[in-house]
Structure 1
Protein backbone atom coordinates (compact mmCIF):
# COMPACT_ATOMS: atom_id res chain seq x y z
CA UNK A 1 0.00 0.00 0.00
CA UNK A 2 1.33 3.44 -0.92
CA UNK A 3 1.63 5.99 1.85
CA UNK A 4 0.36 9.53 1.44
CA UNK A 5 3.28 11.92 1.75
CA UNK A 6 2.46 15.50 2.71
CA UNK A 7 4.94 18.32 2.29
CA UNK A 8 6.79 19.13 5.49
CA UNK A 9 6.00 22.81 5.07
CA UNK A 10 2.62 22.57 6.84
CA UNK A 11 1.64 21.13 10.19
CA UNK A 12 -1.42 18.96 10.75
CA UNK A 13 -3.05 21.97 12.39
CA UNK A 14 -2.43 24.10 9.31
CA UNK A 15 -3.84 21.41 6.99
CA UNK A 16 -6.87 21.10 9.27
CA UNK A 17 -7.40 24.86 9.23
CA UNK A 18 -7.27 24.89 5.41
CA UNK A 19 -9.85 22.10 5.20
CA UNK A 20 -12.20 23.79 7.64
CA UNK A 21 -11.79 27.12 5.87
CA UNK A 22 -12.59 25.55 2.48
CA UNK A 23 -15.83 23.98 3.72
CA UNK A 24 -16.83 27.11 5.65
CA UNK A 25 -16.44 29.24 2.50
CA UNK A 26 -18.47 26.70 0.52
CA UNK A 27 -21.18 26.84 3.17
CA UNK A 28 -21.25 30.64 3.06
CA UNK A 29 -21.57 30.60 -0.72
CA UNK A 30 -25.10 29.19 -0.25
CA UNK A 31 -26.19 31.68 2.41
CA UNK A 32 -27.96 34.22 0.16
CA UNK A 33 -29.95 31.52 -1.65
CA UNK A 34 -30.92 29.89 1.66
CA UNK A 35 -32.19 33.21 3.00
CA UNK A 36 -34.35 33.65 -0.12
CA UNK A 37 -36.05 30.38 0.92
CA UNK A 38 -36.94 29.33 -2.65
CA UNK A 39 -34.93 26.16 -3.23
CA UNK A 40 -34.46 23.52 -0.50
CA UNK A 41 -31.40 22.21 -2.38
CA UNK A 42 -29.47 25.30 -1.28
CA UNK A 43 -30.14 24.51 2.38
CA UNK A 44 -29.12 20.92 1.75
CA UNK A 45 -25.82 22.04 0.19
CA UNK A 46 -25.20 24.46 3.06
CA UNK A 47 -25.71 21.65 5.57
CA UNK A 48 -23.32 19.41 3.64
CA UNK A 49 -20.68 22.14 3.92
CA UNK A 50 -21.12 22.10 7.70
CA UNK A 51 -20.30 18.40 8.07
Structure 2
Protein backbone atom coordinates (compact mmCIF):
# COMPACT_ATOMS: atom_id res chain seq x y z
CA UNK A 1 0.00 0.00 0.00
CA UNK A 2 2.83 2.41 0.79
CA UNK A 3 4.40 1.82 -2.61
CA UNK A 4 1.18 2.71 -4.38
CA UNK A 5 0.70 5.97 -2.48
CA UNK A 6 4.36 6.85 -3.04
CA UNK A 7 3.92 6.30 -6.75
CA UNK A 8 0.80 8.41 -6.79
CA UNK A 9 2.62 11.25 -5.05
CA UNK A 10 5.60 10.95 -7.40
CA UNK A 11 3.60 10.91 -10.62
CA UNK A 12 1.20 13.51 -9.29
CA UNK A 13 4.16 15.78 -8.63
CA UNK A 14 5.41 15.21 -12.16
CA UNK A 15 2.00 16.14 -13.54
CA UNK A 16 1.87 19.32 -11.45
CA UNK A 17 5.41 20.26 -12.55
CA UNK A 18 4.44 19.67 -16.17
CA UNK A 19 1.35 21.83 -15.86
CA UNK A 20 3.45 24.58 -14.25
CA UNK A 21 5.99 24.41 -17.10
CA UNK A 22 3.28 24.65 -19.77
CA UNK A 23 1.65 27.56 -17.94
CA UNK A 24 5.01 29.33 -17.70
CA UNK A 25 5.58 28.94 -21.44
CA UNK A 26 2.10 30.26 -22.28
CA UNK A 27 2.48 33.26 -19.97
CA UNK A 28 5.94 34.02 -21.38
CA UNK A 29 4.50 34.19 -24.90
CA UNK A 30 1.60 36.39 -23.76
CA UNK A 31 3.89 38.84 -21.98
CA UNK A 32 6.30 38.90 -24.93
CA UNK A 33 3.47 39.81 -27.32
CA UNK A 34 2.11 42.47 -24.96
CA UNK A 35 5.59 43.95 -24.52
CA UNK A 36 6.08 44.15 -28.28
CA UNK A 37 2.70 45.81 -28.81
CA UNK A 38 3.27 48.30 -26.00
CA UNK A 39 6.75 49.21 -27.27
CA UNK A 40 5.39 49.75 -30.77
CA UNK A 41 2.56 51.93 -29.46
CA UNK A 42 4.90 54.02 -27.30
CA UNK A 43 7.26 54.51 -30.25
CA UNK A 44 4.34 55.73 -32.35
CA UNK A 45 3.12 58.17 -29.70
CA UNK A 46 6.42 59.47 -28.30
CA UNK A 47 9.04 58.57 -30.89
CA UNK A 48 11.91 56.16 -30.62
CA UNK A 49 13.97 56.12 -27.44
CA UNK A 50 17.27 57.98 -27.74
CA UNK A 51 20.31 56.11 -26.52
TM-score (norm 1): 0.45
Q: Which gives a bigger RCO, structure 1 or 2 (Cα 8 Å, sep 6+)?
A: 1
Query: Which structure would you say has the larger Rg?
Result: 2
TM-score (norm 2): 0.45
Higher helix share: 2
